Structure 1
């Protein structure tokens, strides 16, 4: 059997997904090395907290911008920067692994540009919904965007199961398991209201995929009419 030993093991991963993961991992490595005093000197110990304060999303800031009519770029950037700042190394590592897996699946199915569109839309709208409900608790971490990719994956699987004539409810197994685990961990260890942004991200990702997939909306209307 012929094997190309020069073939890169990363060829199957869409470049956009790779870039997102590398950026996320690079920031997390810098935070972790700074906290251990390996990088950046004594002041680096507070990089993570400073990163959350500077690049995390806060609903109160959006309220202030809407009321004042001022939209500073550094605050608008928070809608896109908060997914790359995590509260711990473990949280960042888990986010990188999930983004790598889901980004590969969704990117291959929809194309890298559409996958990136789902990531961005889920991040922005997930933050907006969160900020409206919880304006005074900072939002950080990639999970609203990752849940958006789960929403995209769910819609793609839902469509595939429908074409195969199988029970489409199975497409929601992944989100059901994740929400169940989240509930258990929340009860055992406590947790914040971040699930609001994550659920919003899932809904946005699911809805955005209907529009972004070629013929997706027309196919959905046709299936609804059949019912």
Structure 2
């Protein structure tokens, strides 16, 4: 049967994804797996049950820590790293899995369009944008944790791809923002019904960062955007 020209082997799911997207998802998954096996006492002994909380305390982003660094003008690495490391620790397995689903789904399109380096840049910049927005715009005790700002960064880059595509087809560009509008609407409804968290500020900042970075990766893209805005 292997000689049949019409026969084709099923493609492994990870083979269809850009390597950097897979690498990011694997790192996030490995950290979460460590928390899971620790919570069941498989490794680490009794102390492993609290690994997740300890990791959030050590690597999560805290507005109070950020404000203290700003007021003192001191930026020790152990706290500066929080601008990025918060993305690798999540509040629960569900929290982590949802972030990975978004990154795998949207990262595929972004990676195929811009390449592996762009995937890493968008992940890093969106993560940083999320923590900066969280620290500068809010005064909260709740730590920021999870890769959602980075995931929204990929949504922003995907939105930019749609934005350009719709413009090329002379269609309504605002349709490109349907996904982010739907997700922000969901967060609003959930917050009204069950009590929301301020994380959406970081998510929205990640989205904007992803959109902007994607624009910078396309030669002449922002020039065309500015020209169109001036026409209006």
Task: Please classify the TM superposition score into its range, dividing by the shorter chain length.
Answer: over 0.9
Q: Which residue of 1 aligns with 2:154?
A: 149
Distance 1:17 1:58 in 2: 27
Q: Which residue of 2 aligns with 1:56?
A: 60
Alignment pair present for 1:158 and 2:163: yes
Of 165, 172, 176 in structure 2, the residue corresponding to residue 171 of structure 1 is 176
Q: How does 1:29-68 map to 2 (within 5 A)?
A: 29-68=33-72
Q: Secondary structure at the match of 2:87?
A: helix
The answer to whether the 8 A contact 1:210-1:220 is kept is: no
Alignment pair present for 1:87 and 2:91: yes
Name structure 1 gaps, 5 residues minimum.
Answer: none
Alignment pair present for 1:216 and 2:217: no
Distance 1:171 1:6 in 2: 32
Q: Secondary structure at the match of 1:11?
A: helix
Q: How does 1:198-209 map to 2 (within 5 A)?
A: 198-209=203-214
Report the Cα offset of residue 107 of structure 1: 1.0
Q: TM-score, normalised by structure 1?
A: 0.93
Distance 1:59 1:162 in 2: 40
Count of aligned positions? 227
Q: Which residue of 2 aligns with 1:133?
A: 137
Distance 2:7 2:84 in 1: 41
Distance 1:102 1:152 in 2: 8
Once superposed, which parts of structure 1, at least 4 consecutive aligned residues long, lie more than 4 Å away?
none
Report the Cα offset of residue 4 of structure 1: 5.2
Report the Cα offset of residue 9 of structure 1: 3.5
Alignment deviations for residues 25-46 of structure 1 (CA, whole Å, 9 cap, x no partner): 0111111111122221110110
Q: Which residue of 2 aligns with 1:115?
A: 119
Q: Secondary structure at the match of 1:81?
A: helix
The answer to whether the 8 A contact 1:125-1:200 is kept is: yes
Distance 1:107 1:187 in 2: 35
Q: TM-score, normalised by structure 2?
A: 0.91
